[in-house]
A and B are shown apart, each in its own frame.
Chain A
């Protein structure tokens, strides 16, 4: 052993290895193993890592596994069972409109193959309900039944209550959509699919997908309706889909998010081609302006004006930043959407870069969005591979690079200046405005910071024109909005609806009313800053101004439903506590104010409220709205104030009972 130069931890590790050798063999093995190791390392010093590597690489089985286990090198399998994912390889490049068409054909062949395509929803909402296990079961059934089929992991079509959703597709036949699929039911589905039949519990069929925005049509069914489908309604007639306005979510649930060809098959990157080969940057801004698109993150600022200001700011370097920080404590509104169709966002960002003169973009995502981060990165890599990201895109001379940055977990980073701080590697706290980010943003350069959904709308606006977009919605709020239903609702889901849709209708049509069957008592839009509204306001429409006027806000589109059994004062307490946890602590009125507010609201929620406290809460709320640095502090009192205003009975019931 004197040949080996041991580092202390290396010696210890080797001793562990020897100790793992069965006693009877130890004396014989020790010198042999030492010789092996010595031969491997030569004169290098031997550390723990070296010994571990030697065990992993040079020892034969079964000793290797045993010794690896002894050294603790066999890491437990990842607890989220993953279907063995083959990394999708993209071939070809898109350097012109002709190339795009070629890849489109490839994509459409993938979407409607001659062999079976069994698409399993795999956004977070599906995975949470076990869609990976379903996919594995389908895979196994296919092998066992020797069927020619491919299991494809697609995104979510919004029907979260019916997850896991499985779509069976084959050229010529209508697609069949199954819901709430279990691993046990997989075999039947495969059997039925192979025989051209429909298994039990199918939800609906789909004859074709007409992508209004891009003008593409994905046709599944040709010819007569097969008998097996006679009981099934076509998706386009089902209220859940019929009443939606699928602009940004037009591909979600249909395409595999890790196959750029499929995105292109649906007409993706047509907008980019149109802009880069036939429009000037000012034209693109013009379309966004005439669309009257307002920021989908909450503030509702007109995107076109923002872009215009940025494009006019004199600078050699500009940035596009996507605000995907979405810290609103509801249903991960945009998470499922982004996981289903990352290219929708990417195309929008490239268009934004072209419009304002930025060559670099960042997608800032919430810390918890691990899957979304992964998918967006894959999508970026594929776009780079085919040449739709990088230098001289489509031969236009325009270059754009995109990176994903994962946040550290701070709700305040939804505020654009705090987000910029975080992107620069600094702390999660907002900066003073002015200067506005469009003049001095990331690294001091003009930056457009837009919400994820805002940017995802751009490709549609460029393709069909701003005027078309402005024709949808209400006078003050144009286009569509993703709304995610959660809470006491029978069918949690996410849908895309035209602005102006009545909120009560959303809950009934899409949410199926409350889960308990009881009446709706309260609802919340716009996250905690929107406070709670009573059932009497259910006739309000999805509209920035209307909701602002009602004392709430549209926000990012979460719609939380609360039924009669809900203790709204306690929910107000819960939301105030949320603000307490998320306050960055920079400014006094928010840091100290939310702390004191939380003390009082907890007191009230626990049934020890007093009139003096109610009056104080009102004063505090007003003063905080005046004095706080950013919107977090300014709206921190909204939960309790709205509850006081709209649910006086509930509040009264929480007052301290005096002995009179």
Chain B
């Protein structure tokens, strides 16, 4: 900063500018901005007005508008007042949620200004159509600087069609690293019937476990499903005891019937559902059936699709 000849109000104004820069970026930005300003000042003493001029003339959007607002400068005449601009033709998919998440990173003071600017850019990209997820993603990748960009992209990776708030709570409550991942996976499996990719990404991020390791844990154990199961899950007991009592036949029958009726079922096998005394038994959506009751339940399930 020794290059710049500061006038007191110039220093104050510049400090205001720095105060408006988000905490995480300040240390990085400060020397850069100082350098810029020094270049502009070219040895001349820097007043408050010069700082303001520099903000208006030399800074890129959307920082420009935001800092102008922070300095209490009048927005340009040809800019609309910071009235929230909506998506011209609506949003596709998760795009709106992504957009909101992106804006969350902006300090409160500047958010509405950024919203206006970024919405304008998004509308431009959309070219009259709805704003797509890809558009928002592009804005984050091309315009948003680090460290926000990485943070936002990480957050995007955990967004999907699934509500992960329960998982988030559980992750907070459960202390530990990789050694607690299995219990989180079990909880996921119980809540959703499978382990959604976004959830896996979240666990990977929060527990600092490489994603490749998470994927291996998911696939080397048979307890976890990677895909959403069908409406009904039929688990056929395939213990040896059940097998010698005709369990193999039952499994074949069920598979054939499912193929024939096109029923919305996931057929799985399990070695031990604790019912060898009623072998062969099946679980339908978690409840045990055997013999006549099993046949009746199966008929009910398979007739649903007709």
Contact = CB atoms under 8 A, between A and B. Distances in A.
Nearest to B100: A7
A407 B182 CA distance: 8
Contacts of A91: none
Nearest to A574: B243
A163 interface: yes
Q: Which of A78, A124, A410 has the most chain B CB atoms inside 10 A of its CB?
A: A124
Interface in A1-27: 7-9
Interface stretch (A205-213, A245-253, A484-492): A484-492
Contact of A330 (B163, B240, B245): B240
A335 interface: yes
B277 to A, nearest CB: 4
B274 A560 contact: no
A406 B163 contact: no
A329 B238 contact: yes
Interface stretch (A287-295, A421-429, A593-601, A609-617): A421-429
Nearest to B273: A368
B239 A128 contact: no
B199 interface: no
B120 interface: no
A566 B275 CA distance: 21
Nearest to A567: B244
B223 A487 contact: no
A124 B179 CA distance: 29
A486 B239 contact: yes
A366 B288 contact: no
A8 B96 contact: yes
A468 interface: no
Interface in B259-285: 270-279, 281, 284-285
Contacts of A512: none
Interface string A424-447: 111111000000000000000000
Interface stretch (B19-27, B39-47, B213-221): B213-221
A48 interface: yes
A265 interface: no
B222 A125 contact: no
A385 B209 CA distance: 35
A571 B277 contact: no
Contacts of B97: 7-9
Contacts, number: 160
A128 B274 contact: yes
A552 to B, nearest CB: 14
Interface in B105-138: none
Given A329-B239, A409-B222, A528-B240, A425 B179 contact: yes
Given A124-B275, A492-B276, A524 B240 contact: yes
A406 B183 contact: yes
Contacts of B288: 80, 127-128
B276 A486 contact: yes
Contact of B272 (A80, A368, A422): A368
Contact of A410 (B183, B221, B243): B221
A484 B274 CA distance: 12
A449 to B, nearest CB: 17
B256 to A, nearest CB: 18
A562 interface: yes
B274 A332 contact: yes
B181 interface: yes
A124 B244 contact: no
Interface string B213-237: 0001100111110000000000000
Interface string A292-332: 00000000000000000000000000000000001111111
B63 interface: no
Contacts of B248: 574
B185 interface: yes
A7 to B, nearest CB: 6
Contacts of B186: 367, 406, 408
Interface in B148-194: 163, 165, 177-183, 185-186
B287 interface: yes
B54 interface: no
Interface band, chain A: 35 or more
A49 B162 CA distance: 12
Given A127-B288, A408-B185, A560-B244, A48 B275 contact: no
B240 A575 contact: yes
Contacts of B284: 79
A636 to B, nearest CB: 15
A571 B243 contact: yes
Contact of A329 (B183, B221, B224, B271): B271
A566 B241 contact: no
A329 B277 contact: no
B286 interface: yes
B11 interface: no
Contacts of A48: 163
Given A330-B241, A408-B185, A425-B181, A8 B277 contact: no
Nearest to A11: B96
Given A80-B286, A161-B277, A425-B181, A330 B221 contact: no
Contacts of B302: none
A486 B243 contact: no
B240 A560 contact: yes
A564 to B, nearest CB: 12
B275 A408 contact: no
Contacts of A328: 271
A574 B238 CA distance: 10
A635 interface: no
Most buried by B among A80, A163, A367: A367
Given A79-B285, A486-B279, A428 B220 contact: yes
A623 to B, nearest CB: 26
Interface in A353-373: 366-368, 371
A125 B274 contact: yes
Given A7-B97, A7-B100, A48-B163, A427 B220 contact: yes
A336 interface: yes
Interface in A537-588: 560, 562, 566, 571, 574-575, 578, 581, 584
Given A79-B287, A424-B179, A129 B278 contact: yes
A10 to B, nearest CB: 11
B178 A426 contact: yes
Contacts of B183: 405-406
Nearest to A488: B244
Interface string A211-252: 000000000000000000000000000000000000000000
Interface in A472-526: 484, 486-488, 492-493, 515, 524
B290 interface: yes
A528 B238 CA distance: 13
Q: Most chain-A CB neighbours within 10 Å: which of B96, B224, B271, B284?
A: B271
B6 interface: no
Contacts of B272: 326, 329-332, 335, 366, 368
Interface string A398-423: 00000001111110000000000011
27 contacts: A8-B97, A80-B286, A80-B287, A125-B276, A128-B275, A128-B277, A129-B290, A329-B239, A329-B240, A329-B271, A330-B239, A330-B276, A331-B272, A332-B274, A335-B274, A367-B223, A371-B274, A408-B182, A408-B186, A408-B220, A424-B178, A427-B216, A486-B276, A487-B241, A492-B277, A528-B240, A578-B240
Which 7 A/B pairs are nearest by Cβ-Cβ distance?
A124-B274, A408-B221, A486-B241, A128-B275, A160-B277, A331-B276, A425-B179
Interface of A: 7-9, 48-49, 78-81, 123-125, 127-129, 160-161, 163, 326-332, 335-336, 366-368, 371, 405-410, 422-429, 484, 486-488, 492-493, 515, 524, 528, 560, 562, 566, 571, 574-575, 578, 581, 584
Given A49-B165, A408-B221, 18 more contacts: A125-B277, A128-B277, A163-B277, A329-B271, A330-B240, A330-B241, A332-B239, A332-B273, A332-B276, A405-B182, A406-B186, A425-B179, A426-B178, A427-B217, A486-B276, A515-B245, A566-B244, A574-B243
